[in-house]
Amino acid sequence: MNCMRKFLPLCKGVRTKWSSSLWVCYRRQSLPPMSTWSSEDESDRSRWRNAALLASVALAAAAFLEVKKKTRVLHAKEAPKTSADKDAEGLPTYSAQDVATHDTKDKRIWVTFHHGVYDITDFVDEHPGGDKILLGAGGAIEPFWNLYGVHKSPEILALLETFRIGNLKASDVGEAMKGTADPYSTDPKRHPALKPASMKPFNAEPPISILTDNYITPSEFFYVRNHLPVPEINPAEYELEIAGLDGEEHTLTLDDLKTKFPKVTITSVVQCAGSRRSELNKVKKVKGLDWGACAIGNATWSGARLIDVLKHFNFDLDDPRIQHVILDGLDLDPTGVAYGASILADKAFDPKGDVILAYEMNGEELPRDHGYPVRAIVPGIVGARNVKWLGRITLSEEESNSHWQKGDYKGFCPSVDWDTVDFDSAPAIEELPVTSAVCSPPDGSKVRGETLHVKGYAWSGGGRKIIRVDVSADGGRTWKAAKLHSADTSLTRAWAWTLWEIDVPVPEGVEKLEVVSKAVDSSYNTQPDTTENIWNLRGVLNNAWHRVMYSVVR
């Protein structure tokens, strides 16, 4: 019996592929300590591979944080001259069995990557939480780094090389990946027009030139933001768990959601916190996907109201202890940890908050990339809280302990860097600030004529309606108000975006034309003029004036 199956009981309807012989399911259990694994379950080599998989989770995350914090690199006096892609001259050769014996601090903790053998003992001592690496000491980190391509950045590979002590025996190179399937092999096909920001996990946005062609963004052109492989979920076996403060637990099937509760439809934007990060990168390099202005979309979503579901099970929504609603997905990393987030109870329980458990997008079942079979839609709130592949809802006194809730998606002062940042000091992003973008013609286009027809979008978080979009054709010296196209909603419940258009004059004699947009919402919030003043180390919350430059052809 596979050791993972022994400790992770199969859950209904969900499977995530980590190896050709291993299906790991999730019901919020964590893997057991390595010491509880029996040698009778599988061969030493297979056990080594699974240990490596666990170790790589901690090491990759820790290495990424180490690079971001710019802490000193142990033993590094100069940039490494070696590469994991080949043997390093003058270093000894070790077999995988040799490496596997180095699984405790007193023996020194070794790991492998491609051709290299690395002693990370001192890294474990220096890094908070480094003890997690001990779960799989003596293994390879390729399996996890194939899960997160971002960990193969030059900075992290250079950091790893500073711990290199030897070369891996030629016959063992690549052995850790044998029998290990690509966890992304079952991801859905995507429209070729999407522009990837990363392939594994898949993250992509549509071309800006087509974003505002439709008020409702077609599903195939809706930006994709995945943190992990897309799970395969059997709708007939899908169950949504709902838990209260006092231990009460309930489950709903997909059919229950569709038949026991009124179906409601809302039109709502979903926007990534990192939308327009590429503009902040021009000020100073930040960490995160290099999104343009299209990590945003506007769709119709249909499903059951969250408040109707909670009332169905007689939860006391007036209980003052309930401050947060935790949302856990069914997309998993190799250790069984799922993507998770939480929203404020005030939003979740507001009858006018329109939080729904959506099973349809644009009148059809949810695409897999967008959360099939069920996702949370939290209108007016950052996309990170609109959890896809929803598996569990928990009423809670505290916010989610998920990394994506507590250790990411937060904004900081421009002077805060990775040496001084304290994620506990800032609240998680909820409502996004007012923003706009010039979409057509796209930046860099050649234009001609006396006037230019310009189109774009505007939106503000929290349901605040866009009341005006100002457009300048001279870099922000003079302005004209654009014509707006929006849904007939109240000033405080406008979940959808506003499209705008305007004809701007092209002055005689100019070779370059800078067009700028800035939006104003119903609270008279408007956009700041520069990115420099709102730069932050994570590259989130960029809502500066959107600027595009055209070449004028006479």
Residues designated catalytic: 127, 151, 225, 272, 409
In three-state secondary structure terms, 262 is: coil
Sort strands 224-225 and 203-205 into parallel, antiparallel or unpaired.
antiparallel
d(CA 485, CA 350): 27
d(CA 503, CA 447): 13
Q: What is the secondary structure of 357-372 as a DSSP string?
A: EEEEETTEEPPGGGTT
Nearest Cα to Cα of residue 212 among 437, 478, 493, 447 = 437
Close Cβ partners of 408 (under 8 Å, ≥ 6 residues apart):
384, 423, 538
d(CA 215, CA 199): 28
| C-alpha to C-alpha distances, 290 to 172, 195, 274, 285, 538, nearest whole angstrom | 36, 11, 8, 10, 11
| C-alpha to C-alpha distances, 76 to 72, 92, 113, 163, nearest whole angstrom | 8, 19, 19, 8
d(CA 536, CA 534): 6
d(CA 497, CA 504): 22
Sort strands 390-396 and 239-243 into parallel, antiparallel or unpaired.
parallel
| C-alpha to C-alpha distances, 202 to 19, 39, 46, nearest whole angstrom | 19, 37, 29
Cβ–Cβ under 8 Å, residues 22 and 10: no
Close Cβ partners of 523 (under 8 Å, ≥ 6 residues apart):
464
